[in-house]
């Protein structure tokens, strides 16, 4: 892979700077002038219907953004990723999360290995395990069937599975619950385990190296809880093997823990944690929704992969949305990006995207080691509508900051309810449609006065400038396939931004320093004077406060 292109040295970047200088958004006028704006700005990819007409695109902007993509080598980098080239240069690895959802009939040789064969071999084992748990064939050490599965992981080993488990609530098997432990705060394990019956609880320890500090600490806590709370006549020598499985490739460590290595499901170094929910990391989800539904999830991912790989850039939805984010971030001054799902089941989706986007593109150097010359990354955040409307939408509507927002909704509700004769889902979606309209077109002072307001102070307060950019993403329903499509869409949006900025979106060295320092600080907390003396003055003071106030 050749070195990155500094985007600021391209003619397209210079032209975008010129366009931004004179840019005055006026969505009302743009819609009035162009009756085809909606049709030309709306795209379908698999089941996703994406309306970008309320974006701040006008005139030459889109054409020049597409030139920027060409001049920074987006297509070559995309093709290199799909081909298995080592585009993760700092770790010398391929980036092949897309291989996790290739059909079994496909073939992709990377570094002399058919990775599709490997993926489906592990998938088959995960599916067989899930069927055993779901059918009751897999029992605990006392012979009881499993009723609760607890996934122990952190980062990508937690955020993806828990997000998808919540999103696909309508597809879960009745009588089988999944819970998730991630935080090393012992409260997380204590509250998650509360009320569970150890005889019917199964743990999945998700750690590729079987050495992640948080995950292994929680795994040991859960093992102790299991052994302590099983009935007295339970065979404790077999308890861990019957109540724990692993998602890991470190089979020696798995065995040392007490897990049968035959019940360890691996994945590969070409799968980053934040891209791994559709690997064996999703084992808890496979148990919850079943292999057939998980296969539908993978097919949804693959459909968007194929669109990203093959669609012309001007019709390529991840490309268009990624370039829009570059336009907002680097030329219009946006620093954050809101994701607002009008689906309570997607309440963990913004948190999932935080890791995907911010761990990927939170970089200050290019993949050749040179410092970046432009701002990179966006702060992703959000909450489901309509909760957000009563919390932070005020800032999006009338604040001084430009906050692009993606709105997500589904035509069919996952759970249909009526309030008398009122279809509550329609009441809900009325807010979805109204919010993007209000953000785009606002309300003028004249319109406020026409409503009968005469106090000019109130007129000013009730005026909305509009021209707040949104993207609207709709689908028929929140199915496993559609969830896969949504996740893949944002994976590739993230890729596009990283390619334009010339950064490696697939390493995450920024998390390492704090982890290393935590290991150095730990002895000081328990009274090691030498370790305490090695800390800076502020840390010493804080540790002293902790030790003075820790009573147990």
Catalytic residue from among 214, 359, 378, 497: 359
Burial of residue 374, with CB atoms counted within 10 A of its CB: 0-12 exposed, 13-18 middle, 19 or more buried: middle
Catalytic choice (390, 426, 456, 520): 390
Instruction: Produce one character per residue of 506-535: b if its CB has 16 or more CB atoms within 10 Å, e if not.
Output: bbbeeeeeeeeeeeebeebeeeeeebbeeb
Q: Which two three-digit tokens encode residue 37?
A: 């704006």
Please provide the DSSP assignment of 521-548 as one string.
HHHHHTT-HHHHHTS-HHHHHHHHHHHH
CB contact set of 185 (below 8 Å; sequence gap of 6+): none
Please name every residue paired with 246 in a beta bridge, in sequence order, or none if there are none: 205, 264
Region of residue 289 (phi > 0: left; psi between -120 and 50: alpha; otherwise: beta): alpha
Using the structure block, give the residue that is written with the tokens 């993949």. 367
Quick one: 298 exposed, middle or buried, by C-beta within 10 A (0-12, 13-18, 19+)?
Answer: buried
Distance of CA 412 to the CA centre of its chain: 23
Distance between CA 315 and CA 51 in Å, rounded?
A: 12
DSSP assignment of 83-112 equals: HT---BTTTTB---GGGGGS-TT---EETT
Structural element, H or E, at residue 331: none
Q: Which residues pair with 177 in a beta bridge?
A: 148
Active site residue 383: no
Beta bridge partners of 203: 150, 244
Q: Which of the residues 33, 137, 515, 520 is marked catalytic?
A: 515
Cα separation of 68 and 74, whole Å? Answer: 9
Cis amide prior to 386 (ω within 30 degrees): yes
Number of alpha helices (DSSP H) and beta strands (DSSP E) in the chain: 24, 15
Does the annotation mark 243 as catalytic? no
Distances (CA, A) of 387 to 163, 318, 391, 393, 428: 18, 28, 7, 9, 11
Does the active-site annotation cover 359? yes
Positions marked catalytic: 359, 390, 515
């Amino acid at each position: 892979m050749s070195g990155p292109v500094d985007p600021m040295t391209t003619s397209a970047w210079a032209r975008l700077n010129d366009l931004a200088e004179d840019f005055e958004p006026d969505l009302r006028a743009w819609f009035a002038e162009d009756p085809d704006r909606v049709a030309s700005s709306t795209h379908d990819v698999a089941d996703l219907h994406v309306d970008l007409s309320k974006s701040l695109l006008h005139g030459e902007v889109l054409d020049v953004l597409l030139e920027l993509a060409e001049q920074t080598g987006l297509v070559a980098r995309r093709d290199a990723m799909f081909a298995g080239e080592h585009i993760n240069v700092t770790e010398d690895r391929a980036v092949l999360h897309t291989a996790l959802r290739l059909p079994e009939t496909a073939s992709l040789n990377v570094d002399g290995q058919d990775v599709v064969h490997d993926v489906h071999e592990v998938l088959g084992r995960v599916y067989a395990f899930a069927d055993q748990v779901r059918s009751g064939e897999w029992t605990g050490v006392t012979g009881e069937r499993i009723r609760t599965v607890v996934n122990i992981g952190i980062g990508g080993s937690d955020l993806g599975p828990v997000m998808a488990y919540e999103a696909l609530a309508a597809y879960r098997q009745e009588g089988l619950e999944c819970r998730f432990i991630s935080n090393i705060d012992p409260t997380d394990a204590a509250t998650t385990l509360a009320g569970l019956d150890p005889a019917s609880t199964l743990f999945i320890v998700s750690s590729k190296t079987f050495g992640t500090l948080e995950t292994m600490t929680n795994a040991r806590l859960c093992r102790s809880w299991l052994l302590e709370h099983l009935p007295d006549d339970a065979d404790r020598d077999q308890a861990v093997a019957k109540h724990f499985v692993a998602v890991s490739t470190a089979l020696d460590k798995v065995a040392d823990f007490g897990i049968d290595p035959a019940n360890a499901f691996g994945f590969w170094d070409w799968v980053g944690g934040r891209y791994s929910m559709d690997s064996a990391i999703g084992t808890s989800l496979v148990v919850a929704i079943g292999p057939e539904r998980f296969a539908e999830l993978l097919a949804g991912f693959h459909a968007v992969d194929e669109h990203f790989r093959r669609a012309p850039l001007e019709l390529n939805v991840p490309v268009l949305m990624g370039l829009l984010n570059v336009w907002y971030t680097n030329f219009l001054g946006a620093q954050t990006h809101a994701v607002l799902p009008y689906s309570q089941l997607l309440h963990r989706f913004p948190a999932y995207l935080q890791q995907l986007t911010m761990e990927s593109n939170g970089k200050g150097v290019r993949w050749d080691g040179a410092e970046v010359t432009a701002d990179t990354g966006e702060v992703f955040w959000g909450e489901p509508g309509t909760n957000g409307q009563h919390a932070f939408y005020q800032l999006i509507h009338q604040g001084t900051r430009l906050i692009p927002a993606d709105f997500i909704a589904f035509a069919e509700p996952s759970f249909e309810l009526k309030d008398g004769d009122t279809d509550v889902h329609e009441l809900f979606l009325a807010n979805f449609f109204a919010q993007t309209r209000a953000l785009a077109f606002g309300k003028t002072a004249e319109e406020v006065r026409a409503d009968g307001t005469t106090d000019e102070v109130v007129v000013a307060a009730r005026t909305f400038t509009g021209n707040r950019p949104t993207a609207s993403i709709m689908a028929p329903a929140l199915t496993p396939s559609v969830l896969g499509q949504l996740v893949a869409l944002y994976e590739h949006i993230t890729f596009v931004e990283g390619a334009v900025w010339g950064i490696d979106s697939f390493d995450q060295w920024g998390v390492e320093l704090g982890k290393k320092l935590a290991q150095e600080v730990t002895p000081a907390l328990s009274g090691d004077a030498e370790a305490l003396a090695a800390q800076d003055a502020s840390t010493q003071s804080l540790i002293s406060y902790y030790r003075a106030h820790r009573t147990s």
